[in-house]
A and B are shown apart, each in its own frame.
Chain A
Amino acid sequence: DVKVTQSSRYLVKRTGEKVFLECVQDMDHENMFWYRQDPGLGLRLIYFSYDVKMKEKGDIPEGYSVSREKKERFSLILESASTNQTSMYLCAITGQANYGYTFGSGTRLTVV
C-alpha cells in the first residue's frame, strides 16, 4: 500500500514563528498536494507540485510557500504564522489509478 507520512499530528506555534510541515511518500509519485481543511469551508488547495523543484499555486497560497527538493518529500512553509492559519493540514499524493488521492493522516496546527 502507498504510504503518506506527515511528521506531526498536532502542533502549537506562536504568532510570527516560521513553521515547517513535512510530508513524505514511500512511492515514486510525481504529484503531491497540500490542502487545508476548515469547518464549513471543506478542503482548499494551497499548493501542489508535479515534480522535483516544480510547484504551482492552488486556490489559497497567500501566507504559504513550499519546497520539493526530493521527489519523496514535499514541505509546506508558513513564513510567519498567524492565527488565521490555525487549521487541519492534509498532504495528498495521487495514488494508484482509479483510486484518487492517498492522504496523510493530517497535521492539526494551532497558532496562538
Chain B
Amino acid sequence: EDKVVQSPLSLVVHEGDTVTLNCSYEVTNFRSLLWYKQEKKAPTFLFMLTSSGIEKKSGRLSSILDKKELFSILNITATQTGDSAIYLCAVEAQGGSEKLVFGKGTKLTVNP
C-alpha cells in the first residue's frame, strides 16, 4: 500500500526562523512528489518534484527530492506569520489514474 509520512505533525516557530519539513514515502512506481500549502480553504500548489537532487525554489521556499532514500524536504527561510498553514506532501504513482496519496500534513505556526 502506498504511504506518505510527514514530520513533524506540528511546529511552532518565531518570525525569522528557518524551518525544514520532512516527507518520506513508499510508493510503487513513483512518478512525482508534490507539496501544497493549505490555509483556510483549498490547498494551493507549491512544487512538483520528479528528479533527485534538483532543488526547486520559489522566493523563501525551496524543496528537494531524494529518490534513493525516498524522501523530500521543504525549507522555508526567514519565516513570516503569513507562512502559518498546513503543508501537505503527496505522491503520485505511475499507472494513469493520476491519483495522489497524501501525508497527514505539517501544521506550521509562525508567531510574531
Given contacts A90-B42, A106-B41, A50 and B97 within 8 Å (CB-CB): yes
Give the A-B contact count at a CB cut-off of 8 A: 54
Stretch at the interface among B13-21, B57-65, B67-75, B99-107: B99-107
**Chain B residue at minimal CB-CB distance from A90:** B42
B45 contacts across to A, CB distance below 8 A: 99-102
A94 within 8 A of B: yes
CA distance A95 to B43 in the complex (A): 14
Binds B, one of A36-44, A61-69, A70-78, A79-87: A36-44
* Number of residues of chain B lying within 8 A (CB) of chain A: 23
Contact status A41-B104, CB under 8 Å: yes
Q: Does B76 contact A (CB under 8 A)?
A: no
Q: Label chain A's interface by main secondary structure.
A: strand
In the complex the two chains form, is B105's CB within 8 Å of A42's CB? yes
Interface: B85 (CB within 8 A): no
Q: Judge if B110 is at the interface, Cβ distance under 8 Å.
A: no
Number of A positions contacting B (CB below 8 A): 24
User: Closest Cβ of chain A: how far from B83's Cβ, in Å?
Assistant: 19
Residues of B within 8 A of A102 (CB): 45
Asked whether A105 lies within 8 Å of B104 as measured between CB atoms, the reply is no
Q: Give the B-binding residues of A (Cβ under 8 A).
A: 31, 33, 35, 40-45, 48, 50, 56, 58, 90, 94, 98-106
Instruction: List 13 additional contacts besides A42-B105, A48-B97; criterion CB under 8 Å.
Output: A40-B9, A42-B103, A45-B99, A45-B100, A56-B97, A90-B43, A100-B36, A100-B45, A100-B90, A101-B34, A104-B42, A105-B42, A106-B42
